[in-house]
Amino acid sequence: MSFSTLDVDCDDDGLVTVTINRPDSLNALNAQVMDDLDLCFADMEADSSVRGVVITGSGSKAFVAGADITRFASLDAESGEAFALKGQRIFHRIENFSRAVIAAVNGFALGGGCELAMACHIRIASETARFGQPEVNLGILPGYGGSQRLPRLVGKGIAAEMILSGEMISARRAYEIGLVNLVVPADELLDAALAKLKTIAAKAPLAIAYSLEALRFSDLPLEEGLRKEAELFGKACATEDSVEGATAFLEKRAPSFKGR
């Protein structure tokens, strides 16, 4: 896998680090980055050797400082809607990825950058990270899912404060409101993200895929979500790995999962 705007590095355990590499523009999401992310995640979805993904930004200053503002002034109602729909589709692909995706937020995560982090399953931030939805400063609003995912993560009131004021918040504040799972010193960020990914990748792959699927239904009415959980639980019980998991526990040994 080779992309002009992404560095993609896969370790021996199948843990992939995807680094958005446009440091001169603070890794802003132009059309090429979005197309590369789309193709990269499609490729990784089809590659069973991939056990999990970390997304980060190049350089020490930014994770992603937003969608690329250079195109904004030329958008009209039709092209603006198409622009938002395309971004939403690509971030949906990331959110629906069947293995864990962790955002390692190494600096500014603004606008589309905050939205990209929110499309990941888990967010780990460096102490220097800053989060925000500053679109109102540009006369627009979040278009890559921010008005929907932010309130689901932090509640409507705090989401409203961030989206309406356009103000940035610190990594510590992001942790307090539940926007990030963990804050670590900048030089420990990638190791922390990969360590969490390694923990997850050691579990039964189908149990992880079904868990991710069940979590996606947590925004549905409870009855519907519970129905889906029972269905997925049944599917998990029919896997070889579920027999291996229980047997290994009873035999007091580590399980050897096969992904079947």
Q: Bridge-partner residues for 77, per DSSP?
A: none
User: Among candidates 49, 63, 60, 61, which has minimal Cα distance to 18?
Assistant: 63
Number of residues counted as binding ligand COA (CB under 6 A): 17
Q: How far apart are CA 225 and CA 215, in angstroms?
A: 9
Region binding ligand COA by CB under 6 A among candidate stretches 48-56, 129-137, 174-182, 186-194: 129-137
Name the residue nearer to ligand COA (CB basis): 116 or 200: 116
User: Among candidates 113, 114, 104, 122, which has minimal Cα distance to 192?
Assistant: 104
Tell me the per-residue interface mask from 53 to 92 with ligand COA, x by CB under 6 A, - otherwise. ------------xxxxxx----------------------
Instruction: Kindly state whether residue 109 participates in binding ligand COA, applying the rule CB under 6 A.
Output: no
User: Are the beta carbons of 19 and 54 closer than 8 angstroms?
Assistant: no
Largest alpha-carbon pair distance within the chain?
Answer: 65
Active site residue 115: yes
Instruction: Kindly state whether residue 26 participates in binding ligand COA, applying the rule CB under 6 A.
Output: yes
Binder of ligand COA out of 20, 34, 110, 193 (CB under 6 A): 110
Nearest distance from C-beta of residue 162 to ligand COA, angstroms: 12
Name the residue nearer to ligand COA (CB basis): 25 or 96: 25
The single residue of 45, 78, 95, 115 carrying the catalytic annotation is 115
Q: How far is CA 27 from the centre of its chain?
A: 16
User: Are the beta carbons of 95 and 55 closer than 8 angstroms?
Assistant: no
Q: How far apart are CA 60 and CA 62, in angstroms?
A: 6
Q: Which residues are catalytic?
A: 115, 135
Interface residues toward ligand COA, by CB under 6 A: 25-26, 28, 65-70, 108, 110-112, 134-135, 137-138
